[in-house]
Chains A and B, each alone.
Chain A
Amino acid sequence: MKSSDHPEPPEQGRPAFAGRRLLFFTLGLAILLGGLELLVRRNIPLFEGASHRMLAKVAMFGEQRRVDFLFFGTSRTQDGISPPLVSRHLAELSPEFKGAAGFNAASTGSNYEDLMTVAPRYFQRPGLRAVIIELSVPHLSNQPSLSPAIATHSQTEEDRLTRAVNHVAFVRYRTAFLTDNLGRLPALLFFSSRLSGYETRGSEQIASFLGREEPAPAGFAATVWQPEIISPPNKPTPLEADLEAAAAKITVLAKAYTERKIRVVFSVPPLTARHQPAPERDRLRPLFAEVARRTGCEVWDFAAQPRPDEFFKDSSHLSRKVGRAHWSYALAHQLARETGKR
């Protein structure tokens, strides 16, 4: 019998059919990566959104069927405003708002520079009626974290190759896969159109996905939640240098919307008495007046009067169950009044 009739037994520990196994391994990986590339290419805004809190809101906003009111701000606004409650109460206050929808685009770490960077992604949306922008110390002091897309013209070999491989979508949007960001992907991919932006917890996201309504605030009294309204004054208010710079930034941001006939209102989130120091109650007041004058927009100062602790989870963040519902209703009242003035 020829030796070829009896193939040699594989070397100790060596896998049988090595060539076939190698082929299947590489082919399988290539198919899986091809599938990932297709998935990312079909959902580029969502994968881009997973990489950053603010971009996640932009991506969610893009999936909404209708948005009339948009809320910008830090975690104070993110935790404190439920757009479905605002819309529901608005519809109760005036039939004009029946079917109106809001979206909470606030996020932890938000700042005016980044809001300016993403502004075109919001103001180009048809049907947007009003934008409510938070005025607060953290919103002024947070550092920008979104870099505008600057074309780099560095000529090192590594840079050129990086630009080349960035044509692969799953490489370009790879920061979506970082463990910190990965948690955003399921909601963005599967039910972002049913979220209103304020749902930071998984349980809240599931509740919104299932269409569960939040209860109305018990014992809400509009007069108690009345903000101090700062209307645009005629005379300029002198500002310290840092506040002057802040006013300039905020004015540019507001004009990006007002020039497109989108109403802008500034809101100062409520604070408890124990929140100390609170420049919103003293040092920032000249800024509020000057921003109102330069933009021609009202400032609703909910921090002028300290609010009871029962509405808060800490000294500056409203609680999810009680505080959020009350402030949402209070904002609906002000929005109805403001829109009714026109």
Chain B
Amino acid sequence: MLFNSLTFFALFLPTLAVYWALPWHRARLVLLLAVSLLFYGYHHWPSVFLLLFTIGFNYAAGRHQQSRPSRVTMLAAVGANLSLLLWFKYAAFIATTVNSLLGVVGMNLAVPVPPVFLPLGISFFTFQVVAYQIDVYRREIPAEPSLLRFAVFKCFFPQLIAGPIVRAKDFLPQLVNAVRFDAAAFHRGLWLVLAGLALKIGVADVLAQFASEAFRDPAALTTVGAWTGLYAYAFQLYADFWGYSTMAVGFAALLGLNLPLNFDTPYAASSLQDFWRRWHITLSVWFRDYVYIPLGGNRHRQATNLLLTMGLAGLWHGAGWTFILWGLGHGLWLALERLLPKGGFFAENRWGRLLRWLAVFHGVCLLWVLFRAPTLSLALEYYGRLMLPPFTTSKVPGVLTGWLLVFAMAQWPVAQTLREHAFARLSLKAQWLLGLAAIYLILAYAGAKVDFIYFTF
């Protein structure tokens, strides 16, 4: 059940009405839990049992830590969660890699490749509970005493499948007392849902056609075709995930709950460090707090820490060497940035800043090739078309140019309207105009039903 499906809205709208009609806080939480399980089970109902198991296990582990705090308990709880992730997401990849290595060294052995089903959103909800267990251990938050509240925190449907990765200290307190209807929050929620849907349907799905075409057969591309295909993918990925996250925050706001925004015009970044402060913010913060800093952070072996953290971030995105290389590429670049003086190779003036922005944007785009290409050889082929002769040109479809330019320009004002209360403070005419523009994009381009990219992670 995708956020851009009618089925989802057929579930959400009655839920919203009943939610606000219910006078009892506990009943609202029960409703949220039931709808979350239905939402999750609609895609693959046996996965609900896995979800219920992790709820029960993590609730109990948290309570245990509260009464008898111990590093071993925390590590066991984190290890158990990561083992599930490892099994479901990485077992096949590890087995295939081991088999390849055995083949290379000439050993006639084969590790059986397990036929494992990947439960939806496992990467996201595993990270959420890992953070919870560590925070409880560090005494940053108390273990949640209510199983119902913990279950709602663990599987709150707007953010269950693809984030934002919500921290317990930010979300659980919101579930303690009855939520009062807040017109301003509801207003914002409406706009976030509309804007998110428009980003997904009207931008990401349109650009997806061009990006898919480019990556289907890179050898057939001209140099211009390869670059425009890459730009199309860069903006498709951004609009897709930004749209999804924005909708998630919007649905939560309609229910009176607050989730963090996950994007802040990342392609305007002036350095890669700046990029990661703006792109998938909740994941960046997670890796910073639970991997990078525990590894030593800036204090010692900074470059190694960055490489390790970003390599793991790559692996988190997908079980494949292209993802690992993508992460390592980012890690290496971040490490190099630390070695260079502030501003890098560019002067600290207007032109220098422009050149630095261009370099960061194109560097990020180039690394997206690894992220998008299904195999390493296809990625290399794509790099070849981007940067090696023969340098050839072809006509760029007008729709693609137009869409890229409009989206590139519109991302800033759109991002401004998503901030707290910014939309509601606009004049009514501006609100109607933006609302109609979003509805126009949704209406005209609905029907492609392309899956959200981050659902696969």
Contact of A177 among B6, B186, B422, B440 (CB under 8 A): B440
Contact between chains at A161 and B424 (CB < 8 Å): no
Complex Cα distance, B5 from A162, in Å, reads 9
A-B CB contacts (within 8 Å), total count = 72
Complex Cα distance, B386 from A332, in Å, reads 56
Is B217 among interface residues, defined by CB-CB distance under 8 A?
Answer: no
Check A15/B428 contact, CB under 8 A, given A25-B435, A177-B440, A178-B445: no
User: Residue on B with the closest CB to A173?
Assistant: B443
Contact between chains at A29 and B432 (CB < 8 Å): yes
Is B118 among interface residues, defined by CB-CB distance under 8 A?
Answer: no
Is A92 among interface residues, defined by CB-CB distance under 8 A?
Answer: no
Contact of A28 among B190, B428, B443, B445 (CB under 8 A): B428
Is A24 among interface residues, defined by CB-CB distance under 8 A?
Answer: yes
The residues of B that contact A25 with a CB separation of less than 8 Å are 187, 190, 424, 428, 431-432, 435
- What's the minimum C-beta distance from B443 to chain A, rounded to whole angstroms? 4
Contact of A161 among B7, B421, B422, B445 (CB under 8 A): B7
Check A33/B186 contact, CB under 8 A, given A13-B425, A179-B444: no
Check A22/B10 contact, CB under 8 A, given A28-B432, A170-B443: no
Complex Cα distance, B187 from A24, in Å, reads 11
- What's the minimum C-beta distance from A16 to chain B, rounded to whole angstroms? 9
Quick one: which of B399-457 are within 8 Å of A by CB? 399, 402, 420-422, 424-425, 428, 431-432, 435-436, 439-440, 443-446
Complex Cα distance, B426 from A46, in Å, reads 35
User: Residue on B with the closest CB to A157?
Assistant: B7
The residues of A that contact B432 with a CB separation of less than 8 Å are 25, 28-29, 32
The residues of A that contact B431 with a CB separation of less than 8 Å are 25, 28
Complex Cα distance, B445 from A157, in Å, reads 21
Is B184 among interface residues, defined by CB-CB distance under 8 A?
Answer: yes
Is B183 among interface residues, defined by CB-CB distance under 8 A?
Answer: yes
Contact between chains at A29 and B186 (CB < 8 Å): no
Is B182 among interface residues, defined by CB-CB distance under 8 A?
Answer: yes
Contact of B187 among A13, A22, A178 (CB under 8 A): A22
Complex Cα distance, B397 from A180, in Å, reads 12
- What's the minimum C-beta distance from A331 to chain B, rounded to whole angstroms? 34
Is A165 among interface residues, defined by CB-CB distance under 8 A?
Answer: yes
The residues of B that contact A24 with a CB separation of less than 8 Å are 428
Contact between chains at A161 and B439 (CB < 8 Å): no
Quick one: which of A28-45 are within 8 Å of B by CB? 28-29, 32-33
Contact between chains at A174 and B443 (CB < 8 Å): yes
Most B CB contacts (10 A, CB to CB) among A21, A157, A161, A179 go to: A21
Contact between chains at A161 and B10 (CB < 8 Å): yes
Contact of B10 among A19, A157, A171, A177 (CB under 8 A): A157
The residues of A that contact B186 with a CB separation of less than 8 Å are 22
The residues of B that contact A157 with a CB separation of less than 8 Å are 7, 10
- What's the minimum C-beta distance from A17 to chain B, rounded to whole angstroms? 9
Is A26 among interface residues, defined by CB-CB distance under 8 A?
Answer: yes
Q: Is the interface of A mostly helix, strand, loop or mixed?
A: helix
Complex Cα distance, B361 from A204, in Å, reads 44
Check A29/B436 contact, CB under 8 A, given A162-B6, A179-B399, A179-B444: yes
Contact between chains at B190 and A26 (CB < 8 Å): yes
Contact between chains at A21 and B444 (CB < 8 Å): no
Is A18 among interface residues, defined by CB-CB distance under 8 A?
Answer: yes
Contact between chains at B440 and A21 (CB < 8 Å): no
User: Residue on A with the closest CB to B9?
Assistant: A161
The residues of B that contact A13 with a CB separation of less than 8 Å are 420-422, 425
User: Residue on B with the closest CB to A181?
Assistant: B444
- What's the minimum C-beta distance from B132 to chain A, rounded to whole angstroms? 29
Q: Which bucket holds chain A's interface residue count?
A: 20 to 34
Complex Cα distance, B4 from A162, in Å, reads 12
- What's the minimum C-beta distance from B331 to chain A, rounded to whole angstroms? 37
- What's the minimum C-beta distance from A29 to chain B, rounded to whole angstroms? 5
Contact between chains at A15 and B184 (CB < 8 Å): yes
Contact between chains at A174 and B187 (CB < 8 Å): no
Contact between chains at A18 and B6 (CB < 8 Å): no
Complex Cα distance, B424 from A14, in Å, reads 8
Contact of A165 among B6, B182, B184 (CB under 8 A): B6
- What's the minimum C-beta distance from A161 to chain B, rounded to whole angstroms? 4
Check A18/B10 contact, CB under 8 A, given A33-B439, A175-B444: no
Is A158 among interface residues, defined by CB-CB distance under 8 A?
Answer: yes
User: Residue on A with the closest CB to B438?
Assistant: A29
Check A18/B428 contact, CB under 8 A, given A174-B443, A177-B443, A178-B444: no
The residues of A that contact B183 with a CB separation of less than 8 Å are 18-19, 21-22
- What's the minimum C-beta distance from B256 to chain A, rounded to whole angstroms? 13
Contact of A158 among B5, B435, B436, B445 (CB under 8 A): B5
The residues of A that contact B399 with a CB separation of less than 8 Å are 179-180
- What's the minimum C-beta distance from A178 to chain B, rounded to whole angstroms? 5
- What's the minimum C-beta distance from B418 to chain A, rounded to whole angstroms? 14
Complex Cα distance, B190 from A29, in Å, reads 12
- What's the minimum C-beta distance from B357 to chain A, rounded to whole angstroms? 29
Quick one: which of B136-190 are within 8 Å of A by CB? 182-184, 186-187, 190
B positions within 8 Å CB-CB of A: 5-7, 10, 182-184, 186-187, 190, 399, 402, 420-422, 424-425, 428, 431-432, 435-436, 439-440, 443-446
Q: What are 5 A-B contacts defined by CB distance under 8 Å?
A: A22-B183, A29-B439, A32-B432, A175-B444, A177-B444
